[in-house]
Amino acid sequence: MNIKTRLALRFSLLVIAILLFFSLLVYYLSFENEKTSFSDELYMKAKNTAILLLNVAEVDSVLLKKIHATTISLDDEEISLFDDKGNEIYCYNNKKTANNAFPNLQNGDEILFFTIGKKDGICLRHNWNGKDYFVYVMAVDKKREENLGELINILLLSILFSILVAVLISYLFSRNAIRPISQINKGISEINLAKLDKRLPEGNKKDEIAQLAISFNEMLNSLEKAFRSQNEFVLNASHELKTPLAVMIVETDYILSHDHEKDGYILHLKRLLDDLKAINGVSTSLLELAQINEGMELKFEDIQIDEVIYASVNQIKNKYPDRKIIIKIDYPENESELLIKGHFGLLEIAFKNILDNSCKFSEDEILLSFLFTPEIISVSISDKGIGIPAGELDNIFKPFHRGGNAKFISGFGIGLALASKIFELHGFSISIHSTDNIGTSFDLIYKKKI
């Protein structure tokens, strides 16, 4: 049984249970009301009989029977009146021949209602001239039977009609309630490795089903990102490792196919070593880029931005000992303005990659300047190198993209892509200003959370 049918069935059963409960309640209240009304009629009949026969001297048993016979009476009524010794002093249409056929009042009771067979009755104590008399009136309440019978018919028809309406409404309701789930199920069935870009409809984005779709879409985003990163890693690795591996194969084949002097072997082995270092550098950069793309979990802590910069500068100076890097920094009075939330190691890599890029494409000095305010930290890294062609600025952070004027300068095109990912991860905004043969400026802004 599917969910739609179960929902419709449960809703229908709930409605049926509520209808039955209220129908029984209506019947019970109607029954009690009819019974109370008939009891009042019995009481008035018994009271009037005692008053007319005992209190009114002009009325005797014969006259009272004529009055009962000619006035509107209850259905199949029986009336009897006894004295305190149990002697019957009046009887009208009484089918009971002995006093003991009626229930007796207990000492002190004034009224007793009872039922014998299909008849309801009353026993009323009436005091006259210091003596107690007991009036019995019994009758069939046909009006109650008719009214309750009509009420049962009405309730049954109402219940049947309501059940039909409830089933129809519950079916429409369950179909409407399940429709978003059906759409989600249909959407999921259409998603595969070739269609990871498809997303589920998110509806009103407020109810639980919409939240389920949103969560599933977020999972799809992560999966798509992971698969894209994996594919990019494979393609990038294949692309970048193909050339040095091919060179190494040729170099090795040449060494094995020719005899060389010791110096010749050393020269070729140095070339192989250079190629191996290149492969190692590419592999390391690719792995770092892949880890960032996969959104690895990082533990951010308070770090001072100047310490990260100086650590990066020291590494670059080891690589370019003759390059002049000028740092302009006006320290704020409050050292807390130097703090950012981040990962020291990753930020060190990012700044090192930008500085390395500047040193690689510029023979002149590199300028690194800071600006601190309570709201932001601004870092600018500028050089006077070959610059970046204006038409290529939008692609500069894509993996393996290199400027058209940098073909004869060594590099893999991974450093800036990795730096961009790291800065994005830390909430830095980055912009580039560059002019051919004049220089390039990388401007980084970190907005503090106040």
Nearest CA to 53 out of 18, 8, 94, 83 is that of 83
Q: Examine the fold and report which residue of 109, 126, 148 is the final residue of a domain before the chain moves on.
A: 148
Residue 230: per-residue pLDDT: 64
Residues 257, 352 share a domain: no
Residues 285, 308 share a domain: no
Q: What is the CATH number of the domain that holds 366?
A: 3.30.565.10
Please, what is the average pLDDT of the chain? Answer: 80
Instruction: Assign 232 a pLDDT band (cuts: 50, 70, 90).
Output: low
Give a yes or no: residue 412 inside a domain: yes
Cα–Cα–Cα angle for 400, 402, 406, rounded to 5 degrees:
145
Strand-pair partners of 79: 92, 137
Residues 336, 369 share a domain: yes
Residues 323, 264 share a domain: no
Residues 328, 312 share a domain: yes
Q: How many domains does the chain have?
A: 3
Residues 93, 73 share a domain: yes
Residues 357, 436 share a domain: yes
Residue 415: per-residue pLDDT: 75
Q: What is the CATH number of the domain that holds 259?
A: 1.10.287
Give a yes or no: residue 125 inside a domain: yes
Give a yes or no: residue 176 inside a domain: no
Residue 364: per-residue pLDDT: 86
Cα–Cα–Cα angle for 149, 151, 156, rounded to 5 degrees:
100
Supply the pTM of this predicted model: 0.46
Residues 288, 306 share a domain: no
Most confident of 53-67, 82-96, 154-168, 284-298: 154-168
Residues 270, 143 share a domain: no
Report how far residue 74's alpha carbon sits from residue 137's, in angstroms, rounded to the nearest whole number.
10
Which residues form the domain of 282?
208-293
Q: What is the CATH number of the domain that holds 21?
A: 3.30.450.20
pLDDT more than 90, % of the chain = 12
97, pLDDT greater than 50: no
Instruction: Assign 33 a pLDDT band (cuts: 50, 70, 90).
Output: very high
What does the DSSP assignment read for 130-152?
TEEEEEEEEEE-HHHHHHHHHHH
Choice among 18-32, 183-197, 227-241 with the minimum mean pLDDT? 227-241
Q: Examine the fold and report which residue of 148, 171, 199 is the final residue of a domain before the chain moves on.
A: 148
Residue 380: per-residue pLDDT: 93
Beta strands 325-328 and 366-372, pairing class: parallel
Give a yes or no: residue 179 inside a domain: no
Give a yes or no: residue 343 inside a domain: yes
Give a yes or no: residue 34 inside a domain: yes
Give a yes or no: residue 188 inside a domain: no
Distance of CA 279 to the CA centre of its chain: 48
Residues 410, 344 share a domain: yes
Give a yes or no: residue 175 inside a domain: no
Q: Examine the fold and report which residue of 121, 148, 175 is the final residue of a domain before the chain moves on.
A: 148
Residues 305, 228 share a domain: no
Residue 26: per-residue pLDDT: 93
Residues 307, 288 share a domain: no
